[in-house]
Every structure is written in C-alpha cells, then in structure tokens.
C-alpha cells in the first residue's frame, strides 16, 4: 500500500486476456486504455453491529464492482461503441457482465472500487475488525463509539486505513478520504474525551474541528475530498426523522457533531478543497419506537451531499428457491450504499441489497437515493 503520499492502496487493471494474442506488427492497446470514462464505485458500509462475513461480503463487493445492468446493452450508444471493439471484445465484455466474480473490465469505463466503513463494527469485536482489515479491497475506516475501548488492537489491525483525524490519498481514483473524530457518539459532548486527549491531544470541539480541517490541507489539487466520520455534522435538521435527528426523545433535536460542521464550514470559506460528499453512520435508518424510517441523504444548498450509511441490520437471511445448485438454499441479502463518481462528479447513489447464495451473487434490490440532476429521492 502507498500512503497519503505513501499509504494509499494502489489499484491496477488487467489489460490482457488469459490467452496470448497473436503477433501483431504493432503492440495492441490494452482495453482499459480504450475506455472513454473513469468510474469510481464506493461501497459505503454503515454500522455493522456484528453483521459481517468476510467471504460473503467479499463476493458481494466483487459483484458490485463489476455489475452493470444488462438492459444497457440495448442502449444505442452502448451498442454502437461495443461494435467498434469487434465480436471478440464484445464477447469478453458480456462474459464479465455474466460472471462478475472474474476480473471486471468495461470498454467504456475504467472501474475502480473503494470501500468506506463508518464504524460500530460490534461491541469491541476484534475478530470482525481483523476480517475487515484482511479484505482485499482499497478501503478507509473510521471507528465508532462501539469501537472505543479495544482501540490499540483495532489500530494495529487497521493501520493507515483508519483515518481518524488524517487523510488517505488514492491517486488513481483522484480521491482523498479525510477522517473526522473517531469514537463519536453524536451531540454536543465529546465521547471518550480522555482517550482523544491522550491519543490525539483533543480537549474540546474547537480543537477537534481544527484537526479535521488541518487533515484536509495539502490535498492534491486534482483530488476530490470525501469526509468520512462516524456521525454526521450539525445543521441538517432537528426532526426525529432527519438525517441526524434524535429519534429516541419526544420532539427530536439535532444530534450532529458540531466539530465536523465547523471543519466543513472552515474548509469552504478558506480553501479551494472540493468536498462533494460527507459519509457517516451512527444514526440508524430504522427509527426508535417504530416511528418509521430516517432520511438518509441530504443535498445542501452548496451541493455537498451528506450520506448516512447506517442501514441496521444490514444482513437478512433469505431462502433462494431458484438456485441452480440446490432448491431452498440458505443465503443472505447484504446491504451497501453504493456511490458512483463518473468523471469527477457524483453521478448516482443507491441503497443496494446483494443476494449471496453460495457462490451466486445477484442484485436483489436497488433504491435510488440520488442522481446527477441534483435531486435527492429521499
């Protein structure tokens, strides 16, 4: 791995097939170099709360990396472009669509994948954090209030991928992930203040806001910045179903983090850093006392998108009666919030449920939260 200069994971793309091409007078260009656009897919996992399986989630993530809706093949532009690559390249493209566990390439997009975890893996669940760290995907992680005691073991396993108060650059993606305050429990009080003081020198909200702000300084000029925090900022509403609204008390209230809001405001006022997206969790989608569902996305007047990924529980059991391997095979539906950044702009955000039954993966449900016309659907 390379870090924020040297610690950002390096991504690469396979440019040759399993069989060697015949000799050519000139070198054949790799397929990825023919692609006309760059697509970054970001899989956001909010509060895990023990719902994580290394093998099944890895299969689901590989599927999300490579999945394209097959109906797009009937699109005139797609068919026209595909024809230019000849029957062999078109067949390879179809094979990758139909078998997403294989290496994914598209003649139209360079597809990069990034995983963002917003914390609360479980009640000090070290084994689960080790599984997340072992996952062979580029990723960034922020620890939550349920991860705030076994912190040395967590940090040792996550290494540079834990971005609390620091920045992790991904040069090939043209993205930088800037971490907020770790261990946040939301609201006006700093949770685990003694730990934050000992580890980060944080004494108050102002000092915390300054650390977040400073982490973003020096971001490469051609990078977008995504802020990753356990909880969202203040200022996004105080109704109980608002994205950071208190749903456990009568009358609601704003339970966002004031230091995160202050850091965002300061970045907007004093820098040219581009922050199109703020990702967090903590405030569960299902409201307390059966009061319905939370708003999970807000588009600010400045076009910053605030995205809550805390779908809890994120795993549901399923019975797949159409499996080719065996009828009534047990499987799971696994939730991810999928962000697509196309050519440097947030293009689409969806709540995606992936069905995993053995080695079979399919997109079970997709709920569109945002499209590039700037309109949020929730």
Q: How far is CA 44 from CA 17, 71, 127, 336, in A?
A: 31, 25, 20, 6
In a domain? residue 98? no
**Two tokens, residue 110:** 């360079």
Task: Report the distance separating Cα 303 and Cα 264, nearest Å.
Answer: 13
Q: Is residue 88 part of a domain?
A: no
Residue 12's pLDDT is 32
Condensed to tens digits (0 to 9), the pLDDT of residues 88-135 reads 444 444 444 444 333 455 555 678 999 999 999 988 788 999 999 999
- Asked whether residue 287 is domain-assigned, the answer is yes
pLDDT tens sequence across 296-314: 999 999 999 999 999 999 9
The pLDDT assigned to 239 comes to: 97
Residue-number span of the structural domain to which 127 is assigned: 32-68+106-371
| CATH for 298 | 3.60.21.10
Q: Residue 322 pLDDT > 70, yes or no? A: no
Specify if 376 maps to a domain.
Answer: no
Count: domains in the chain = 1
DSSP string, 207-276: HHHHHHHHHHTT--TT-EEEEE-SS-BSSS--STTSTTB--SSTT--B--BHHHHHHHHHHHHH------
Q: What percent of the chain has pLDDT over 70?
A: 75
How many whole angstroms separate alpha carbon 157 and alpha carbon 209?
A: 26
Give the pairing of strands 315-320 and 139-141. Answer: unpaired
Report yes or no on 145 lying in a domain: yes
SS3 43: strand
Q: Sorting pLDDT into bands at 50, 70 and 90, what band is 20?
A: very low
CA distance 134 to 351: 25
Would you state the structure tokens that stand for residue 80, as one six-digit string? Answer: 């026209």
User: Is 141 inside a domain boundary?
Assistant: yes
Query: What's the CA gap between 373 and 43, in Å, rounded?
Result: 21
Q: Which residue in the block uniquely carries the two structure tokens 């305050």? A: 181
Residue 240 has pLDDT above 70, yes or no: yes
CA distance 32 to 38: 10
Whether 294 is covered by a domain: the verdict is yes
pLDDT score, position 328: 44
Residue 57 CB burial class (10 angstroms; 0-12, 13-18, ≥19): buried
Is residue 99 domain-resident? Answer: no
Residue 152: predicted pLDDT = 77
């Amino acid at each position: 791995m390379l870090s924020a200069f040297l610690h950002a994971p390096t991504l690469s793309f396979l440019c040759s097939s399993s069989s060697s091409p015949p000799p050519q007078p000139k070198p054949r260009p790799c397929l990825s170099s023919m692609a006309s656009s760059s697509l970054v897919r970001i899989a956001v996992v909010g509060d895990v709360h023990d719902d994580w399986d290394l093998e099944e989630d890895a299969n689901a993530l590989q599927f999300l990396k490579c999945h394209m809706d097959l109906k797009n093949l009937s699109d005139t532009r797609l068919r026209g472009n595909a024809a230019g690559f000849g029957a062999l390249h078109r067949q390879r493209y179809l094979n990758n669509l139909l078998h997403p566990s294989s290496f994914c390439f598209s003649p139209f997009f360079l597809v990069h994948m990034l995983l963002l975890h917003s914390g609360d893996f479980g009640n000090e669940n070290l084994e689960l954090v080790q599984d997340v760290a072992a996952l062979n995907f580029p990723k960034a992680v922020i620890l939550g209030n349920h991860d705030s005691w076994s912190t040395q073991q967590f940090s040792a396993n996550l290494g540079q991928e834990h971005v609390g108060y620091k920045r992790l650059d991904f040069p090939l993606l043209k993205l930088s992930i800037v971490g907020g305050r770790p261990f946040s429990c939301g609201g006006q009080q700093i949770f685990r203040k003694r730990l934050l003081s000992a580890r980060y020198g944080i004494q108050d909200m102002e000092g915390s806001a300054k650390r977040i702000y400073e982490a973003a300084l020096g971001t490469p000029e051609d990078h977008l910045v995504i802020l990753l925090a356990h909880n969202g900022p203040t200022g996004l509403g105080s109704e109980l179903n608002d994205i950071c609204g208190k749903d456990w008390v009568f009358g609601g209230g704003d339970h966002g983090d004031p230091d995160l809001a202050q850091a965002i405001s300061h970045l907007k006022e004093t820098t040219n850093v581009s922050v199109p997206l703020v990702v967090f969790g903590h405030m569960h989608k299902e409201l307390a006392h059966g009061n319905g569902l939370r708003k999970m996305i807000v588009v600010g007047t400045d076009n910053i998108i605030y995205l809550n990924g805390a779908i809890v529980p994120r795993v549901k059991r399923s019975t797949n009666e159409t499996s080719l391997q065996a009828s009534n095979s047990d499987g799971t539906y696994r939730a991810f919030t999928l962000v697509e950044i196309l050519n440097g702009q947030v293009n689409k955000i969806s709540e995606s449920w992936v069905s995993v039954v053995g080695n079979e993966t399919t997109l079970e449900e997709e709920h569109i939260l945002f499209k590039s016309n700037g309109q949020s659907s929730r």
